[in-house]
Amino acid sequence: MTQLRRQMLEELERRNYSLSTIRSYLATIADLARYFGKPPDQLNPEDIRRYQVYLLRERRLAPNTVNQRTGALRFFFITTLRKPWTVADTPYPRQTFRLPKVLSQDQVARLIEAASTPFCRMILMTLYATGVRRAELTNLRISAIDSERMVIHVREGKGGKDRDVMLSTRLLEELRQYWRGLPKKPKVWLFPGNRWHTGARPISTKVPWQACRDAAVRAGLGTDIHPHTLRHCFATHLLEAGADLRTIQSYSDTAIWKRRQSTCTSPISTSMLRRARWIRWANRKAHRRKKRRIAVNEEGPVTAGGGRSGSLRRPKVHRQQPALLNRLHLKVLTAIERCRTASLGGHIDACSTCGHQAISFNSCRNRHCPRCQANARDRWIEARSRDLLPVPYAHVVFTLPHELAPLALQNKKLVYDLLFKVSAATLMEVAANQKHLGAEIGFFSVLHTWNQKLEHHPHVHCIVPAGGLAADHRRWIPSHPKFLLPVGALKEVFRGKFTDALKTAFHAGKLGFHGNMKPLGRPKVFAELIRQTYRKDWVVYCKRPFGGAKHVLRYRGGYTHRIAISNHRLVSLDEGTVTFRWRDSAHKNKKRRMSLTVDEFLRRFLLHVLPRGFVPIRHFGFLSTRNRSVLLPLCRQLIEADPPAQGAPMPDCGPPQHGMDCGDVLNAAGQCCCSNASPQ
């Protein structure tokens, strides 16, 4: 072995490449050296270009094969020789994607029966019944067969990953019959090597290949049948039998049973999801029909009846059905439908005392699922509990006026982000004012976009310690024993900052206006909206959490990892009508029931789907990520040096304000209740 080959082998082994990849890369470099007749470290980019042309023109290799060899060259020159490599000089050929050849079930049966020996027949049957790759088949051990769970354990498959594949009753019986017929029972490998199949090593990957080719010729199926064809047949026949793609993927590529804790079933039923899919299909169909009916000429749109009009008539199906569902909406509904079902796989729960086992299906873990994210919520509560300070806490809520709710609905990411930033800036500015607190505060904020009726009602909850750090960070300044910050000042600053931020976003062209809100795109109309909104009395609610800091954290944790509605509020789904419970805050929190059609329920539910990547929980001040590690221990040290007086009353910033219509206030016993009615 040359020094160059040894060096490349060491680099491959350091990165834990598979044995097949190592062999392929070394063979590529050896072929390159043979083609030019000199060591590969003496070649230049022009030689690599000529080698690529040789592979494509003379040897007529497939583009995918050339890409694999290009990857080997790239590894050799960049990692082994430490030479510069530019993709522009040696591009990757464009890959070709062809549909694989799939046999019918009768053809598969003919192929298996045409095997030359019982050993080859068992190989072909295992390939088809489990969907494993031929390299995975050769490494199957006898101990990998689990007849109790009816699975076969595949160890170190493609990419070094372990997984379980299905074991059918028919395959188990065939394997037992094959085992009984063996004159000498193997000890380790299911398909051992040598002529009598009793060797200490498994068969090579060439054995399944040759067995498949010979059986295909005997059955009259041609010579283009290989072991991977049976893998394609396995997946296709499962799909034709009614299995969903997620189940097929779990059988072929990922683990069937994943050991993770799951949650309960979600309230969105299958009929609701089918209804949502039908709505989207109807809207698409109507949109295509509208395009066919409209012919645009110089005078304007022409309808199917021959009349001309200045605007398009809305098709009847659009007047009867809700707005189009986008991909994010359907993704959320699909995840909720599949939550805690067999389509997402499952895991085995075993009793440590009696050994009883039960299969539990996995949850969807979508953040919009009303019954998921329990583990994430508990971890969040535990992490925030470590950040609690031994001081009273206040509960502050900033609510957008209902006139701005439609604008927020069409610009969710921008407006919600402004709501976070402006509310945080308001708290920190008022708290830093020497007339009020004169301190640097820290807090976390949680976004809610709903009320008890599932209507759009965007507001931000802030949990604030009753005090802050002095400007020189040398002492802790506690708040007034009767209130944290004046609500009047918070209202004025919040209103001014938010309207200014909206004006800035409008002039920068960041706001979008669609449908009935298109006139707001004109500067004069938008300015009038801002003026009308500014004249209103903006809602800022500020009240201390009576149950204590840890209790309010537990209460808020129940709302941070779900949206809008939970299962216990749903009453029934009957004849296309959804009935759920809600609290009427206008009449002393009286519990009532509301019935909505499936379409209206879905419309209200999907109003609260957040944009992709949007963070609904944020930290500010000395609790922010950049300051927490330094300032939080300092706060504890200063508080311990100057503890607050025992028995001091908790902050109370005045009477409850309107706008808390989502059931987010705590009473003296620490239970949640609603405040006064919403301005809506």
- Residue 507 reports pLDDT greater than 60: yes
Among 75-79, 147-151, 209-213, 350-354, the range scoring the smallest mean pLDDT is 350-354
Mean pLDDT confidence for 140-148: 90
Residue bearing the bigger pLDDT, 481 or 521: 521
Mean pLDDT confidence for 364-380: 81
Among 31-40, 249-258, 471-480, the range scoring the smallest mean pLDDT is 249-258
* Domain identity same for 25 and 120: no
106-140: buried (b, 16+ CB within 10 Å) or exposed (e) per residue? ebbebbbebbeeebbbbbbbbbbbbbbbbbbbbbb
Reported as a pLDDT band with limits 50, 70 and 90, residue 645 is: low
Asked if residue 71 is part of any domain, the answer here is: yes
Percent of the chain with pLDDT over 90: 28
Mean pLDDT confidence for 146-160: 85
User: Last residue of a domain, which of 330, 361, 392?
Assistant: 361
Query: How many structural domains does the chain have?
Result: 4
Mean pLDDT confidence for 337-355: 83
Asked if residue 369 is part of any domain, the answer here is: no
- Residue 65 reports pLDDT greater than 70: yes
Q: 220 by DSSP, 3-state: which?
A: coil
pLDDT for 643: 66
* Domain identity same for 380 and 343: no
Q: What is the rounded end-to-end Cα distance, in angstroms, of the chain?
A: 82
State how far Cα 614 lies from the chain centre: 12
pLDDT for 112: 92
Contact 191, 132 (CB under 8 A): no
pLDDT for 649: 46
Asked if residue 445 is part of any domain, the answer here is: yes
- Residue 312 reports pLDDT greater than 70: no
Residue bearing the bigger pLDDT, 76 or 264: 76
E strands within 423-471?
Answer: 442-450, 456-465, 467-469
Asked if residue 594 is part of any domain, the answer here is: no
Among 167-176, 565-574, 648-657, the range scoring the smallest mean pLDDT is 648-657
Ranked by mean pLDDT, which of 246-260, 382-396, 424-438, 553-567 comes out on top?
A: 424-438
- DSSP letter at 270 equals H
pLDDT for 622: 92
pLDDT for 415: 95
Residues 6 or more apart whose CB falls under 8 angstroms from that of 244 comprise 343
Asked if residue 423 is part of any domain, the answer here is: yes
* Domain identity same for 155 and 223: yes
Ranked by mean pLDDT, which of 319-333, 545-559, 639-653 comes out on top?
A: 319-333
Element counts in the chain: helices (H) and strands (E): 22, 19
Among 318, 324, 333, 342, which residue's Cα sits nearest to residue 274? 333
Among 389, 367, 319, 442, which residue's Cα sits nearest to residue 611? 367
pLDDT for 411: 93
User: Last residue of a domain, which of 361, 394, 410?
Assistant: 361
Residue bearing the bigger pLDDT, 373 or 230: 230
Give the angle 54-61-210 at the CA atoms, nearest 5°: 140
pLDDT per residue as tens digits for the range 574-598: 888 999 999 888 888 888 999 999 8
* Domain identity same for 138 and 112: yes
The dihedral over CA atoms of 496, 498, 500, 505, expressed in degrees to the nearest 10, equals: 180
Residue bearing the bigger pLDDT, 195 or 229: 229
Mean pLDDT confidence for 189-193: 89
pLDDT for 479: 86
* Domain identity same for 343 and 212: no
Contact 427, 485 (CB under 8 A): yes
- Residue 300 reports pLDDT greater than 50: no
Asked if residue 582 is part of any domain, the answer here is: no
Amino acid at the residue 273: L
d(C-alpha 298, C-alpha 244), whole Å = 50
SS3 content of the chain, % helix, strand, coil (to 5): 45, 15, 40
Contact 509, 678 (CB under 8 A): no
- Domain range for residue 291? 270-361
pLDDT for 267: 43
* Domain identity same for 485 and 445: yes
Q: What is the mean pLDDT of the chain?
A: 80
Residue bearing the bigger pLDDT, 322 or 529: 529
Residue bearing the bigger pLDDT, 104 or 552: 104
Q: What is the CA radius of gyration of the chain?
A: 34
* Domain identity same for 405 and 467: yes
* Domain identity same for 332 and 414: no
* Domain identity same for 426 and 353: no
- Residue 304 reports pLDDT greater than 60: no
Asked if residue 263 is part of any domain, the answer here is: no
pLDDT for 44: 85
- Residue 670 reports pLDDT greater than 90: no
pLDDT for 148: 87
pLDDT for 417: 95
Tell me, what CATH number does 166's domain have?
1.10.443.10
pLDDT for 289: 58
* Domain identity same for 337 and 397: no
Amino acid at the residue 242: G
Residue bearing the bigger pLDDT, 378 or 524: 524
Asked if residue 378 is part of any domain, the answer here is: yes
* Domain identity same for 292 and 405: no
d(C-alpha 43, C-alpha 89), whole Å = 14
- Residue 440 reports pLDDT greater than 70: yes
User: Last residue of a domain, which of 312, 339, 361?
Assistant: 361
Question: Is residue 213 exposed (0-12), middle (13-18) or buried (19+ Cβ within 10 Å)?
Answer: middle
* Domain identity same for 354 and 378: no
